[in-house]
Amino acid sequence: MPLVLRPAIAVALRGALAAVSPVSCAGCGAPDLEVCDSCRLLLRPRPVEAVHAGLRVVTALRYEFEVREAVLAYKQRGRLRLAAELGPALRAAVEVALPAGSPPTALVAVPPSPSGRRRRGWDPVTTLARAARVSASPGVLVVRPGRSSSQKRLDREQRARARRGSLRCRVDLTGHRVVVLDDVLTTGSTVQEARRALEDAGAEVVAAVCLASTPLASHAAS
Ligand SMILES: [Zn+2]
């Protein structure tokens, strides 16, 4: 079953390559370190709350400069060991969104696009949640077949339009409180689409938590 085996092999190969290739800091490129001390300081969580279209959104890091490089190295260049460096930030944001004593709330991960899943063979948000030791429910939201979520060249409005209807919730969530979990917040259209799909399935979406947000996302908060 090549379809089943391919992702596992891809991940195993990447691990083997990482073991033999020289490492450089994922943030600044300094040699011989996964992450250098000064970049590790930049990855320390600084949770920020904002409201995007009526939804409370908590993010832990600003997606720029070294932080952006580290997140890209994790997501796009398959440096899976960075999950351990980025996990604590996600966890801190979850703790702000759901302080001790909050009613039971499910964390639902935004799924990768089909092309992203094919290319990487692994799921960045769920892997990050595991490293953060927060229990996210994968597979609750799925991307509708035929809906591309490649949005890199689209502006805010176009992204929102392209996203609408792109996710589907596979379970009945009537009566459940839910927090949406994603890695990078840019225009907010992805978390809003996740919220729509979850609310259509009966959930009460109380917040979204993202590892990092672009400066644009902070300005767009209203
Ligand atoms: Zn560095």
The CATH number for 135's domain is 3.40.50
Decide if 18 is inside a domain: no
Across the range 19-46, mean pLDDT stands at 91
Quote the pLDDT of residue 220: 53
Q: What percent of the chain is modeled with pLDDT above 90?
A: 73
- Alpha carbon of 28 to ligand 1 centroid (Å): 4
- Structure confidence at residue 2 as a pLDDT band (50, 70, 90): very low
- Alpha carbon of 177 to ligand 1 centroid (Å): 39
Decide if 143 is inside a domain: yes
Decide if 103 is inside a domain: yes
Alpha helices in the chain (DSSP H): 2-20, 37-42, 65-75, 83-97, 114-120, 124-131, 156-163, 189-200, 215-220
Decide if 66 is inside a domain: yes
Instruction: Identify the top-confidence range among 21-25, 71-75, 119-123.
Output: 71-75
Across the range 135-144, mean pLDDT stands at 92
| Amino acid at site 100 | A
Encoded tokens for 222: 């209203």
Number of domains in the chain: 1
Quote the pLDDT of residue 20: 54
- Alpha carbon of 136 to ligand 1 centroid (Å): 29
Task: Measure the CA–CA gap between 137 and 30, rounded to whole angstroms.
Answer: 36
Residue 183 pLDDT more than 80? yes
Decide if 24 is inside a domain: no
**Domain around 129:** 44-220
Decide if 6 is inside a domain: no
Decide if 101 is inside a domain: yes
The b/e string for 24-40 (b: 16+ C-beta within 10 A; e otherwise) is bbbbbeeeebbbbeebb
Which residues, other chains included, contact 125 with Cβ-Cβ below 8 Å and sequence gap of 6+?
Answer: 109, 110, 111, 112, 136, 181, 182, 183
- Alpha carbon of 86 to ligand 1 centroid (Å): 14
Residue 154 pLDDT more than 90? no
- Alpha carbon of 73 to ligand 1 centroid (Å): 12
Decide if 30 is inside a domain: no
- Alpha carbon of 44 to ligand 1 centroid (Å): 13
Quote the pLDDT of residue 148: 55
30 conformational bin, left if phi > 0, alpha if psi -120 to 50, beta if neither = beta
